[in-house]
Amino acid sequence: MEVMDSMGSSAVVVHPMDATNGDNGVNGTEGLTASPMTTSAPMKTSDTPMDTMETQLETQTVIQMVSEMVGQSVSHWCEPKSRYQRKTCTEMAVKLWRVLQTINGFHKSRQELHQKVSNQMLSEFNVKLNDNRINQLIETAIDDKLITAEETDDSQIRYVANFDRQLFGEVSTDWLCFECHLAVEDRMLIGCTTCFRAFHPQCLKVKVNPNSYECGYCERLVQRDTTLKVNQIPKALLNKCICLLLNNLELSFDSQMTTNYEVDSTPRAQVFVFKAMDLLTIREKATNGMYDSLQEVVNDFKHFQHNYMVCVDSEFKRKLKEVLELEKKFTHEVKELTLCVDCYVYSSDIGFDISDKPYDWFTLVCSPPHELVFAKFGKYPYWPGKVINRSPNGKTYDIRFFDAPEFSRALIPDIKCRPIEGFKYEEDDELELPVQLLEEHIRKINEKGLQFVQTVKTPPIRTSAKKRANMDTDAAQRPAKRSKKSTDSSMN
């Protein structure tokens, strides 16, 4: 349903059930399959201003009718001029800018200009658009204030790109979806009531109330798992861990590509990036001890990644693949920090190259101490190690071995793990140093008066059915042999 505001522009009034029952969109940064452009006819706008009072009455009547139908107010998300709503696809906007730059100059009529835009779109980008689609694209870009129409006294016209974000007015929520990172012409945005993020209803995995929606990023800030040690440590230690995490990221990748881009770094970023965020800002916040939880850092990193995703500037696109790889590394580092804060600090606070670290860092005691086991991996003998994590069903152990200097990790089935107490390991020269490190670690645990919980049990001795059958056969044959032997001896 479309209504006209007092300036002749249109706003879409969507039935809330239509908004929340759409298909699920993409998650995170994985591609969007649906086309961001619709095939409907261009939206008609009035060439002359409409009567203000009459339009407002019509608008209020429509909204009131829809509200009565669904039994709730929809003014928060569909009232005209409630907030800036962008609908032009970012990639199409950039293509349109390039085309307008190529055909720069005034033209005698809109029809002539639109035809040149259509021809240039086809020749430069192989994008074929009919007259209706070209009209719709240009009108939507003008409504979104991404291009401006300029006319001369003799009615000649041209379109120019707009890079002035002040034309968007005072905006409190992002103009692009935080999930798909796009503006889609036929989708409204739902703004979070707590933060600046906005989402397409179709991109959310669950149905939400558009009038009181709080995004998952804000919910996780409040509903964080207080059982995790990383959520219990002092604020100063948390911010130190975040600095160590950033050190690992920057040593894994080109740090310059993650810190150079701010909201005003390019003209296009001015238009696409709603709020600036980069790793340099995250580091400054951590250095100044501003983070209260790990989830805040995760939210800031996702914000930084979103800024890269929405920018289609060539310089941003060139780095986008590296940013996605950086996101995988970041997720890994957060997981490691969540598993054990002490291990993360011990392993990160000395240096990045793990082969250069003193062996004794691995003998330091965590709180609480890790379970100690001997585990069998591949062709290697049973090797001492620490249990870093266990699978939910307890059948698999994440073990970090006492194999200096690498201190490698592996997932080991529980049937291949043995408790250290009373276990007789193989006499092997390769095990000499690992066993020394294990004994040193146990000594430090005892000095602190601590102990670890032993969950690994010595499995019972099991024999296969075939082996038991052979044993039974042997047992049955032995008396017969002795009987025959004794008989032979008696005959002699």
One domain for residues 250 and 385:
no
376: in domain: yes
Q: Are 177 and 199 in contact (CB under 8 A)?
A: yes
In a domain, 485, yes or no: no
Please check whether residue 50 lies inside any domain of the structure.
yes
pLDDT of residue 187: 83
In degrees, rounded to 5, the angle at the alpha carbon of residue 68 between the alpha carbons of residues 62 and 74 is 65
**Nearest in space to 26 (alpha carbons), one of 205, 196, 186:** 205
Residue 478, pLDDT score: 54
Q: Residue 338: give its domain's CATH number.
A: 1.20.920.10
CATH of the domain at 381: 2.30.30.140
Residue 491 lies in a domain: no
- Spell out the alpha helix ranges (H) of 151-293: 216-222, 235-252, 256-259, 267-272, 279-287
Same domain membership, residue 243 and residue 129: no
Q: What is the pLDDT of residue 477?
A: 57
Domain match, 80 and 154 both: yes
3-state secondary structure of 206: coil
How does DSSP classify residue 407? -
Residues 378 and 316 in one domain: no
Q: Which residues pair with 400 in a beta bridge?
A: 386, 409
Rounded CA-CA distance 285/137 in Å is 41
The pLDDT score that the predictor gives to residue 254 is: 55
Are 244 and 160 in the same domain?
A: no
Do 307 and 257 fall within a single domain?
yes
The domain total for the chain is 3
Contacts of 321 (CB under 8 A, 6+ apart): none
Query: Are both 314 and 379 inside the same structural domain?
Result: no
Q: What is the largest CA-CA distance in the chain?
A: 138
User: What Å distances lie between residue 82 and 130, 171, 351, CA to CA?
Assistant: 32, 10, 52
418 forms beta bridges with 374
52 & 97 share domain: yes
- What is residue 262's predicted lDDT score, i.e. its pLDDT? 54
* Domain CATH for 41: 1.10.10.10
Asked if residue 492 is part of any domain, the answer here is no
Residues with Cβ within 8 Å of residue 382, at least 6 apart in sequence: 374, 375, 376, 418, 423, 425, 426
77: nearest Cα among 7, 19, 1, 21:
19
Secondary structure (3-state) at 204:
coil
263 and 335 assigned to the same domain: yes
Is residue 400 domain-resident? yes
Domain that includes residue 157, residue range:
2-168
pLDDT, mean of each 10-residue run, the chain (492 residues): 36 32 33 30 34 35 33 32 72 90 91 93 92 93 92 92 83 90 85 92 87 91 81 92 89 56 65 87 94 94 88 66 84 93 83 54 91 93 94 92 89 93 83 91 92 78 57 56 43 44
The one-letter amino acid at 444: K
Other C-beta atoms lying within 10 Å of the C-beta of residue 361: 18
Q: Is the peptide bond before 210 cis (omega within 30 degrees of 0)?
A: no
Residue 263: count of CB within 10 angstroms of its CB: 17
Residue 338 has phi, psi (to 5 degrees) of: -70, -35
**Assigned domain for 370 exists:** yes
Q: What is the dihedral of CA 271, 273, 275, 281, to 10 degrees?
A: -130
* Burial of 80 from C-beta contacts in 10 A (0-12 / 13-18 / 19+): buried
Q: Which token pair is 143?
A: 């409504």
Same domain, 258 and 374: no
Q: What is the predicted pLDDT for the residue at 464? A: 57
Q: What are the two backbone dihedrals, phi and then psi, of residue 367, each rounded to the nearest 5 degrees?
A: -125, 110
Q: Are residues 340 and 361 in the same domain?
A: no
C-alpha–C-alpha distance, residues 401 and 334, integer Å: 21
| Same-domain check for residues 248 and 372 | no
- 3-state SS track over 287-347: HCCCCCCHHHHHHHHHHHHHHHHHCCCHHHHHHHHHHHHHHHHHHHHHHHHHHCHHHHHHH
Which domain-ending residue is among 300, 320, 345?
345
Structure tokens at 37: 């452009």
Strand 157-161 and strand 383-390: the pairing is unpaired
Residue 92 resides in a domain: yes
Give which of 76, 392, 39, 32 is closest to 177, Cα–Cα.
32
> Do 465 and 473 meet the contact criterion of CB atoms below 8 Å apart?
no
From CA 216, how far away is CA 365, in angstroms rounded? 36
Of 249, 275, 267, nearest in space to 327 by CA = 249
